[in-house]
Structure 1
Amino acid sequence: MGVEIRVLSTPEELDACVALQKAIWGLDDQGATSPISLKVWTMQDVQTGLVLGAFMENQMVGMIIILATMEPGLAYGHMLGVLDAFRDQRVGDLLHGTAARQLLARGIREMAWTYDPMESRNAYFYLSLQGGRGIRYMEDCFHVSCAMHAGMPMDRLLVRSSIKESLQHKDDITAAEAMIRYPLASPTHMPHADAVLLEIPGDLKTLKIHDMERALRWQQDIRLIFTEYLNRRSYIATSFFSEITGLGRKSYYLLSRSA
């Protein structure tokens, strides 16, 4: 089944984009982008953004919204989402790749994103596949009603990446090799090493369903470590490792001293 990526422009497409946001993230009317904002971002005469949809048999299954910024050569990735039933089919890759090529054609060379740093799937996408670098931890970044977060604070990791590098996937060492090579940071042990590992849940969605209290404890620990290393010590999240072990999926960020 082929995937068609196209620029959204009609009222029907923009309404479908709003509906998709609600389906993917459980956003209410306040949290989803308004049709007026989407219209502004898709105007042809004044280019303030880029809104693309991914279609399979004329059904919109994914979308990406990218906004202009006041920093020359930088665009901000506002939203990138795919319906659960169509994940792991490279839909997100196709959306991001198409957007990246259009941005390069307009002279944009760098992108910034924010995402939930506890989501292994997103960390892998933005750091491992797109070559991003996490530069700032943003505590309680958004204040909207969202079923996906189920009452958890909406902390975010700010990532920047070169668009040219994001089009070239890179290989990393395995999580097991990383565990041997780098010390593991914790709220009570934050070594001043050149690089440290920070563990996150391997499957956040399942954890929240079965043990929300434990998920909140994970978030508090992760918040402390990220804030100390990125915001205070100026480290950068440079890589992400995730693999299946006998104890389930294990996932780690690599936090490195900035050059």
Structure 2
Amino acid sequence: MSLSLQILETIEQLKEMAKLEEEIWKTAPVPLHQTLTAAKNGGIVIGAYMDGKLVGFVYSFPGFRNGEVYLCSHMMGIDASFRDRGIGYRLKRKQAEEARRRGYRVIRWTYDPLQSRNGYLNLAKLGAVGVEYVENCYGEMNDALNGQLPSDRFIVEWRLDERPTGERSLAKADLLKARSLTVLEAGQRADGLLQPVPRDIDETAAPLLLTAIPLDFPQLKERDFALALEWRLATRALFQRLLVEGWIAAGAWRCLEEGVLYYIWKRRSERWQQKGEEE
């Protein structure tokens, strides 16, 4: 099966995108007049087709903040039966390519920091960084993804003229050595579910910090909503504090044997050079 990526700009294409959006989130899609207007006025909408069937999309429009124009990437969705095939990564790379061609140098978007799949894609593979935390960003969202949890979001920034940072920037051995710098661990309960366990360490001279989240937060939320809310509130308090104190979420490391994703936090003024190659 072959994948092709196409710019979406016709009414027929955007209707097809709206149908897929509705199937993914089980809620009303963005109105057609809005997506069409964005596509015709500096926005970038890209569809992923598998043998002629639309299986994913990314939707973005122009943004402006503090004197800087950027591309605001509002939504990316992948058909459930086509996930974990690298389609999201390819959509974002195509989005970056098209953004550069049109003169954009920065792409910004939001995502739920407890969704490890998105965290790994955004920070480890693409090289974006988490620069802000917005509490209950979209208010109550009773869709298939959010399910009555507060809709907290990271704002990530992808500077297209910078080399990527992230998991490949530090060797795994170095990350294992940095385990003593973990300020939020995932402790296993008797029922096997992971719970947030904050740790107090001396952060003043720390070169980086690690914070853990469950790899499969959606399943945890389905099994124990109160525990999911505990994760939301624990990460909210910690991530907000770290950002205020000058840290940014600059990478991510999946530790499969523990069932967690570690966010790698660096001070805003510090970046490291990429080592190794993309997978």
Compute the TM-score of the two structures, normalised by the length of structure 1: 0.88
User: Could you tell me which residue of structure 1 aligns to residue 55 of structure 2?
Assistant: 61
Deviation at 1:48, TM superposition (A): 2.9
Deviation at 1:92, TM superposition (A): 1.1
Asked if residue 48 in structure 1 is aligned to residue 58 in structure 2, the reply is no
Q: Secondary structure at the match of 1:6?
A: strand
User: Could you tell me which residue of structure 1 aligns to residue 134 of structure 2?
Assistant: 138
Asked if residue 10 in structure 1 is aligned to residue 10 in structure 2, the reply is yes
Asked if residue 258 in structure 1 is aligned to residue 268 in structure 2, the reply is yes
1:175–1:251 contact (8 Å) kept in structure 2: no
Deviation sequence 1:67-123 (CA, Å, 0-9, x none): 111244521111112112111222112211111111111111111111000011101
Please report the RMSD computed on the Cα atoms of aligned residues, expressed in angstroms.
Answer: 2.1
Asked if residue 241 in structure 1 is aligned to residue 235 in structure 2, the reply is no
Q: Secondary structure at the match of 1:97?
A: helix
Deviation at 1:190, TM superposition (A): 6.0
Count matched residues. 250
2:182–2:199 contact (8 Å) kept in structure 1: no
Q: Please, which moves more after superposition, 7-16 or 234-243?
A: 7-16
Q: Please, which moves more after superposition, 59-68 or 193-202?
A: 193-202
Q: Following superposition, which runs of at least 4 residues in structure 1 exceed 4 angstroms of deviation?
A: 164-170, 174-177
| Correspondence list, 1:32-181, <5 A | 32-43=29-40, 47-71=41-65, 72-143=68-139, 144-165=141-162, 171-173=168-170, 177-181=174-178
Letter in 1 for 2:96: A
1:130–1:165 contact (8 Å) kept in structure 2: no
Call closer, same or farther: CA 1:36–1:167 in 2, change over 3 Å: farther
Measure, in 2, the Cα distance between the counterparts of 1:219 and 1:243. Answer: 20
Measure, in 1, the Cα distance between the counterparts of 2:87 and 2:108. Answer: 20
Equivalent residue in structure 2 for 1:184, among 182, 204, 209: 182
Call closer, same or farther: CA 1:41–1:91 in 2, change over 3 Å: same
Q: Secondary structure at the match of 1:42?
A: helix
Deviation at 1:142, TM superposition (A): 0.6
User: Could you tell me which residue of structure 2 aligns to residue 19 of structure 1?
Assistant: 19
Measure, in 1, the Cα distance between the counterparts of 2:226 and 2:172. Answer: 27
2:255–2:262 contact (8 Å) kept in structure 1: no
Call closer, same or farther: CA 1:175–1:249 in 2, change over 3 Å: farther
1:73–1:107 contact (8 Å) kept in structure 2: no
2:70–2:107 contact (8 Å) kept in structure 1: yes
Deviation at 1:25, TM superposition (A): 2.5
Letter in 2 for 1:137: Y
Deviation at 1:12, TM superposition (A): 2.4
Gaps of 5+ in 1: none
Deviation at 1:33, TM superposition (A): 0.9
1:25–1:146 contact (8 Å) kept in structure 2: yes
Deviation sequence 1:155-180 (CA, Å, 0-9, x none): 00011112244789871446674243
Measure, in 1, the Cα distance between the counterparts of 2:166 and 2:93. Answer: 11
Deviation at 1:229, TM superposition (A): 0.5
User: Could you tell me which residue of structure 1 aligns to residue 239 of structure 2?
Assistant: 226
